[in-house]
Structure 1
Amino acid sequence: MEKIAIITDSCSDLKEEYRKENNIFVLPIQISCDGKTYRDGIDISSKEIYQLQKEHMLKTSSPVGQELFSLLESLKVNGYSHVIGIFLSAGISGTSNQMRLFSQSQEDLVCHIIDSKSASVGLGIIAIELAHYCQKGVTFEQAISYGEKLVEENYAYFSIDDLGFLQKGGRIGKASAFLGTTLKIKPILSFEKENGEIYVPSKVRGNKKVKSKLVELIEKHLEDHPHQKFALAIADGNNLEERNELEKMLKEKFPTFEYIIDGHVGAALSCYLGSGLLGVAIQFI
């Protein structure tokens, strides 16, 4: 019987309770600052990133190396025969491609890499739902097919206070058109389905309208998927009060959700998103 492990990276922003409950393995993204390297969520937190990025240029890199090698060896020892890796969108990160190349050298594990075309809890909820599916005892090929379907029916939206960090990190994609706009215009960002790059599907005037617009965007997807089961995810970056209000709005507006997860944006993503993020994702299942 195939024993399938689900691996993701720390940009999934999955809380420890979600990881343990769903048996998901998480690799920490590496963060570099002034010649020092830190592991996302282990050696450094998002709060520390907010302070560092005021004066320093921060860089991130994929968790390819001893951390990955040790995890794969541990999986073999624990009887896993197959691995599905689902990582940060290839449109803003090279992690998926690097993991794909590394997995080709594995002899005792059958590996497949899926591009999430998402980030943060948008990525995290794909990993959770895929783990739920694998717990049913499906085959490796069935799990791959379902994982790719999840990606296509996953929609994540987020708003941030400063696009400058995305620009400096070279991750801004088609959102660059909003760099010179007035501060009163707040872009809502998302990921293109074609290549996973960041783009701007909507915008609002002023911070107070962000939550309502996020709810509206989710509602449109539900109208396009009548009677289909769904789960929700909420993320924030040092924006807990707004996150709590958004959660209340979502629960009141869409009470038929299967489950809802939440997460705080971790150190790696905070390097490019800064403080003040508010986001939501819907996963059709």
Structure 2
Amino acid sequence: MQKIALVTDSASDITKELKERYNVRVLPFRIIYKDREYSDGVDITPKYVYDTLETEAPTSSLPAMKDIENMYEELKSEGYTHVIIVTLSSGLSGVHNAISLASENHPEIKSFVYDSKAISYAEALPIVEAAKMIEKGMSFEEIVKEIPRVTEKTELFFVVGTLEYLKRGGRIGRVSGTIAELLNIKPIISVDKNGVYYTYDKVRGRKQSINRMLEIAKDKLSNKKYDIHIIHGEAEDESKNVAEQLKGLENVNSVTFHGYLSPVSGVHSGPGLIGVIFYEVE
């Protein structure tokens, strides 16, 4: 009989409630300051990251190999036969490759290491949907076939307060930075099929960028039904306002306000992020 475990990394922004409900294990990224190191979401908060960004410049690193190895040892001791692991986009991090390599050391557990090609709750959705499939009694093989379809139905858009932190962390992908900053151009950023950031659209000024996000939402909702998830990085009031404006729109199945994105994502995005994740529902 199959016993299937679920694992993701801390960049997925999976909520505490869902983590506990579905027994999802979360591998923490590491946040490294000049004289100290933290485990993402374990002993550091998003608020702490934002409060120290101007005076300190932390970097991030992959989950420790010992954490990955310990995770596999725990699964083995608990009698798991299979594991589904959903990771941050390989276009943004080496975590997928690291876990894939580690999984080869544990042939006793059949592993499916899935590159979400996404970040934040767009990364969490395949894990959440896999959990629902497990509850329905679907097999490992059936779930593995369905997970890519979850990604196909998911889109992510976000704006940031400044492009400085994306540039500093080398995560800017195909988003042009310096000239845009000088002209106060605010790109609407999305993630392409390869899991790399790109400019979906650009407008001038913060207010217009938020209005453009709402226009994108209205356009998408004109012919399809969606669950919408809102995440923010030190932009709570603006994000809540976006959530409220989306709730009344036609074809909105649900709007969920998740609060802060993970500390490790905050290191690279800086303050002012508003993220909107769309998940197409039948």
TM-score, normalization by structure 2: 0.92
Q: Which residue of 1 aligns with 2:213?
A: 214
Q: Distance in 1 between matches of 2:7 and 2:250?
A: 30
Instruction: Report the residue type matching 1:82 in the other structure.
Output: H
For the structure 1 residues 150 and 186, does the alpha-carbon distance in structure 2 shift closer, same or farther, using more than 3 Å as the test?
A: same
Residue 255 (structure 1) shift:
5.5
Mapped partners of 1:11, 1:30: distance in 2 = 11
Inter-partner Cα distance in structure 1 for 2:125 and 2:218: 18
- 1:10 positional shift: 0.7
Larger deviation, residues 89-98 vs 132-141: 132-141
Q: Partner of 1:108: helix, strand, or coil?
A: coil
Identity of aligned residues (%): 31
Matched-pair contact (CA < 8 Å) for 2:8–2:127:
yes
Give the equivalent residue in structure 1 for 2:128.
128
Counting only pairs closer than 5 Å after superposition, residues 1-285 of structure 1 correspond to structure 2 as 1-175=1-175, 177-181=176-180, 182-193=182-193, 195-223=194-222, 226=224, 230-254=226-250, 256-257=252-253, 260=256, 262-285=258-281
For 2:15 and 2:5, locate their aligned partners in 1 and report how far apart those are by CA, in whole Å: 18
Q: Distance in 2 between matches of 1:148 and 1:103?
A: 20
**1: CA distance between counterparts of 2:144 and 2:167?**
33
Distance 1:140 1:38 in 2: 34
Gaps of 5+ in 2: none
Superimposed CA distance per residue, residues 170-194 of structure 1 (whole angstroms, 9 cap, x where no aligned partner): 111001x23312453211111011x
Post-superposition shift, 1:88?
Answer: 0.9
Query: In 2, Cα distance between the equivalents of 1:263 and 1:23?
Result: 21
SS at match of 1:146: helix
Structure 1 CA distance, aligned partners of 2:257 and 2:151? 17
**Structure 1 pair 74/254, CA: closer, same or farther in 2 (3 Å)?**
farther
Give the Å deviation of 1:219.
3.6
User: Any unmatched runs of 5+ in structure 1?
Assistant: none
Are the structure 2 counterparts of residues 127 and 250 from structure 1 closer, same or farther at C-alpha, using a change threshold of 3 Å? farther
The answer to whether the 8 A contact 1:231-1:258 is kept is: yes
Counterpart AA for 1:268: V
Output the CA distance in 2 between the equivalents of 1:76 and 1:118: 29
Paired residue total: 280
Q: For each residue in 1:80-126, what CA deviation from the matched residue of structure 2 results, as whole angstroms up to 9, or x when unmatched?
A: 21111111111111111111111111132111111111111221233
TM-score normalized with structure 1 length:
0.91
Matches of 1:258 and 1:277, distance apart in 2: 21
